[in-house]
């Protein structure tokens, strides 16, 4: 235990020095004294619209309860007289407003030479120091209502940061300016000049037309699968039970899933634009909710090229990417293969998607038929593993991003002289080359460990402009 | 390439000459696991035998053979599993190899280690054992070496931390 007089921060540092773990987001909690509360030079508050966001909470709770249990809600409502209702409102609304106001008032952020500091919390203080050199990606998002109000959320993706560490909301222009400043500082510009550097120029690489996106979604098996389920299952249930409630209870979630898979995806991936700037990759998308993501150079842990069966005739692919600490995973919702490969060559400099080599024929004993879909290739810069027969997927991992390599062999595989090779990346994803020849796999295990070591040494520095 | 000597463990792999210098686990872990097996299965045998014998009749007491069979089967199995565990410190990475039927071999480059932990539960402590667990930025990395001598565990931790710091690399 820390003695009551000691500043909180000291204990934090003591703990952190013990290990090697370098979580980029340090969070300290405690009473509002000590280092955490020391005022930084240029602390700022969020946009004054922010309290309204919090004011929603009590209304949403009541609405949720009413929907969840409509009968009881109605009974309660009839029992309430006008006066009690008015009194409740008179208490509830100021309380919500006060809560919103106070949480806004006690939230500050500041940008120092190496960190973004967010200080928040009314009763329980929370101070997050986000180290800019560890920055993996920056997202500026604008939900529909925020667009109307002219505000935006800014989130820094670092390993260990959570949902609370986003800045919601900032003025639209302020969010852009802050993003430019944070990126300039993370890139290694001198702190004095960082906020004059401004937005890096963007060169547009690709724009996905709405028509292509719509067709691609129509050609996705999952869309039709959920739609068919949403139509067939409730109908069957109706004939089986003749109970309206049962039918509704199954139909609503199924229709919701079908809608989210098709319309929801269309709305989210509408106007998909990928650009390139000195600060890295820029991805802008959305019809109602707009999102602008920036992935600085050298942050991509894995790139996956996915080719659903029905897209193959048109030569379309979907490209996904993994960035540590980031929830976003789509790079291109749909694009012709050549275009996708040219974009991949910009994301992972100089990388082409190589053809993969199948496992030996005897792999069919372990995985009938589907063994043909497995593949492996290793180039100078990436480890490539493919799987899937109908829906083909090829994952590329830069050697510099490999955290550990594993070889796995079960009893049945040993009899056939086969083994899996798994490669773990920093984005908590594992890429597996399945059913390789055992001796090849053993060689690959060591060779891959060496490659990942040298790959890291040759990789670009974290501060990409330095 | 190798650090350490190759005769201390006496078991090198059948891979090409110049393979890594494997170190096996000390016998303490095997002793602990076997003792736990005997104690638990012995208790279970006696309990099953008594309960079924008294309540359902002597014929039913044959069920007590079940835990006994597990005990007899588990004894050599634990030995096999214990023999399969080994690790090697190479110049740039740590190797861990384990498992007989489901064999797994893990390579972790030193530069990727984020945290090295030494843990020792109450039972392990009683037998003078400690485990070393490595963490990388990937949660899937399962690099644990159980049943080490505490002094060896600490030496390994210090050495790994030192090497990790020297080669530390970002994500």
Per the CB < 8 Å rule, is A424 touching B141?
Answer: yes
Taking alpha carbons only, the member of A160, A428, A325, A329 closest to residue B136 is A428
The mean pLDDT value of chain A amounts to 83
Mutate to test the interface with A, among B137, B140, B144, B166 (most CBs of A within 10 A): B137
Average pLDDT over residues B95-122: 91
**pLDDT tens string A108-135:** 999 888 889 999 887 888 888 888 888 8
C-alpha neighbours within 13 Å on the C-beta side of residue B154: 4
Phi first, then psi, for residue B117 (nearest 5°) are -115, 140
Residues of B in contact with A452 (CB under 8 A): 109, 112
Q: What is the predicted pLDDT for the residue at A170?
A: 92
Q: Specify the pLDDT at position A250.
A: 85
When mean pLDDT is compared across A32-41, A67-76, A139-148, A299-308, the lowest value belongs to: A32-41
User: B102 and A426: CB-CB below 8 Å?
Assistant: no
Is ipTM > 0.90 here? no
Q: Compute the distance between CA of residue A142 and CA of residue A291 in angstroms, rounded to an integer.
A: 6
CB proximity list for A273: less than 8 A, separation 6 or greater: A204, A206, A207, A208, A282, A283, A284, A285
Which sequence spans correspond to the domains of chain B? 30-80, 86-166
Indicate whether A307 pLDDT > 90. yes
What confidence tier does A308 reach under pLDDT thresholds 50, 70, 90?
Answer: very high
Q: With beta carbons under 8 A apart, name residues in chain A contacting B167.
A: 453
Give the per-residue pLDDT at A193: 75
Q: Determine contact, residues A418/A427, Cβ cutoff 8 Å.
A: no
What does the buried/exposed string (b/e) look like for A66-105 if buried means 16 or more CB atoms within 10 Å of the residue's CB? Answer: eeeeeeeeeeeeeeeeeeeeeeeeeeeeeebeebbbebbe
Nearest chain B Cα distance for residue A158, angstroms? 10
pLDDT of residue A337: 95
Q: Where are the domains of chain A?
A: 210-269, 301-458
Which of chain B's residues have a Cβ under 8 Å away from the Cβ of A426? Answer: 136-138, 171
Half-sphere exposure of A371 (CA within 13 A, CB side): 18
Partnered with residue B108 across adjacent β-strands are B94
The per-residue pLDDT for A248 is 85
Helix (H, G, I), strand (E, B) or coil at A178: helix
* Half-sphere exposure (Cβ direction) of B153: Cα atoms closer than 13 Å: 23
Q: Which helix (H) or strand (E) holds B170?
A: none
Q: Residue A21: its pLDDT value, please? A: 40
Residues B96, B163, B117, A302, Cα dihedral to 10°: -70
pLDDT for residue B79: 94
With CB atoms and an 8 Å threshold, state whether B136 touches A324.
no
A16 pLDDT band, cuts 50/70/90, is very low
Sequence-separated (6 or more) residues with CB below 8 Å from residue B156: B89, B132, B145, B148
Quote the CA–CA distance of A194 and A183 in Å, as a whole number. Answer: 9
Query: Distance between CA A24 and CA B24 in Å, rounded?
Result: 36
Residue A135: predicted pLDDT: 87
> Is the domain covering A301-458 a CATH 2.30.29.30 domain?
yes
In terms of pLDDT, which residue wins out, B85 or A16? B85
- B107 closest CB neighbour out of A134, A408, A445: A445
How confident is the model at residue A35, as a pLDDT?
A: 42
Region A257-276: mean pLDDT is 91
B136 touches chain A (CB under 8 A): yes
Answer with the residue of higher pLDDT: A258 or A438. Answer: A438
Task: Output the pLDDT for position A242.
Answer: 84
For B86-166, the fitting CATH number among 3.30.450, 2.160.20, 1.10.3470, 2.30.29 is: 2.30.29
Give residue-wise pLDDT tens across range A316-351.
Answer: 999 999 998 888 889 999 999 999 999 999 999 889
| Interface A-B: count of C-beta contacts within 8 A | 107
DSSP-derived secondary structure letter, A112: -
Q: Taking a contact as any Cβ pair under 8 Å apart, which residues of chain B between 96 and 115 contact chain A?
A: 101-109, 111-115
């Amino acid at each position: 235990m820390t003695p009551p007089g000691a500043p909180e921060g000291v204990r934090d540092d003591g703990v952190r020095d013990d290990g090697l773990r370098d979580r980029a987001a340090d969070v300290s909690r405690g009473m509002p004294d000590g280092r955490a509360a020391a005022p930084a030079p240029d602390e700022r508050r969020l946009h004054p619209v922010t309290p309204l966001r919090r004011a929603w909470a009590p209304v949403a709770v009541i609405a949720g309860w009413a929907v969840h249990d409509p009968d009881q809600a109605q009974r309660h409502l009839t029992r309430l007289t006008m006066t009690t209702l008015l009194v409740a409102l008179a208490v509830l609304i100021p309380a919500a407003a006060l809560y919103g106001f106070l949480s806004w008032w006690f939230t500050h952020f500041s940008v120092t030479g190496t960190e973004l500091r967010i200080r928040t919390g009314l009763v329980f203080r929370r101070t997050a120091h986000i180290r800019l050199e560890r920055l993996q990606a920056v997202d500026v998002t604008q939900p529909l209502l925020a667009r109307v109000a002219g505000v935006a959320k800014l989130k820094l993706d670092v390993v260990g940061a959570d949902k609370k560490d986003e800045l919601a909301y900032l003025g639209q222009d302020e969010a852009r300016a802050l993003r430019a400043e944070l990126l300039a500082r993370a890139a290694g510009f001198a702190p004095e000049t960082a906020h004059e550097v401004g937005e890096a120029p963007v060169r547009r690489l690709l724009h996905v037309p709405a028509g292509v996106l719509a067709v691609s979604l129509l050609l996705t098996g999952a869309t039709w699968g959920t739609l068919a389920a949403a139509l067939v299952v409730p109908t069957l249930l109706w004939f089986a039970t003749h109970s309206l409630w049962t039918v509704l209870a199954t139909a609503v979630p199924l229709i919701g899933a079908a809608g989210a898979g098709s319309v929801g995806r269309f709305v989210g991936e509408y106007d998909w634009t990928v650009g390139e700037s000195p600060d890295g990759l820029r991805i802008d998308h959305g019809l109602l909710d707009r999102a602008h993501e920036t992935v600085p150079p050298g942050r991509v842990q894995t790139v996956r090229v996915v080719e659903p069966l029905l897209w193959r005739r048109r030569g379309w692919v979907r490209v996904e990417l993994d960035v540590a600490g980031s929830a976003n995973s789509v790079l291109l919702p749909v694009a012709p293969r050549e275009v996708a490969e040219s974009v991949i060559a910009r994301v992972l400099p100089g990388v082409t998607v190589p053809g993969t080599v199948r496992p030996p024929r005897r792999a069919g004993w372990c995985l009938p038929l589907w063994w043909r879909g497995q593949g492996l290739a290793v180039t100078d810069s990436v480890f490539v593993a493919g799987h899937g027969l109908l829906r083909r997927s090829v994952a590329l991992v830069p050697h510099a991003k490999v955290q550990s390599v594993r070889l796995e062999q079960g009893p049945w595989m040993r009899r056939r002289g086969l083994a899996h090779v798994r490669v773990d990346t920093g984005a908590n994803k594992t890429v597996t080359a399945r059913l390789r020849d055992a001796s090849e796999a053993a060689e690959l295990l060591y060779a891959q460990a060496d490659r990942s070591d040298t790959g890291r040494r040759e990789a670009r520095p974290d501060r990409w402009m330095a | 390439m190798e650090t350490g000597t190759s005769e201390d463990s006496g078991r090198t792999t059948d891979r090409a000459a110049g393979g890594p210098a494997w170190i096996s686990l000390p016998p303490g872990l095997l002793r602990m696991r076997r003792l736990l097996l005997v104690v638990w299965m012995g208790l279970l045998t006696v309990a099953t035998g008594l309960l079924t014998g008294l309540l359902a009749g002597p014929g039913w007491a044959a069920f007590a053979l079940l835990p006994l069979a597990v005990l007899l089967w588990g004894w050599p199995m634990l030995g096999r599993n214990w023999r399969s565990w080994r690790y090697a410190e190479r110049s740039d990475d740590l190797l861990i190899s384990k498992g007989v039927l489901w064999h797994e071999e893990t390579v972790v480059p030193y530069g990727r280690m984020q945290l090295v932990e030494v843990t020792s539960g109450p039972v392990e402590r009683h037998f003078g054992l400690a485990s070393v667990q490595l963490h990388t930025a990937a949660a899937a990395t399962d690099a644990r070496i159980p049943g080490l001598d505490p002094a060896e565990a600490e030496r390994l931790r210090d050495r790994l931390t030192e090497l990790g710091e020297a080669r530390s690399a970002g994500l």
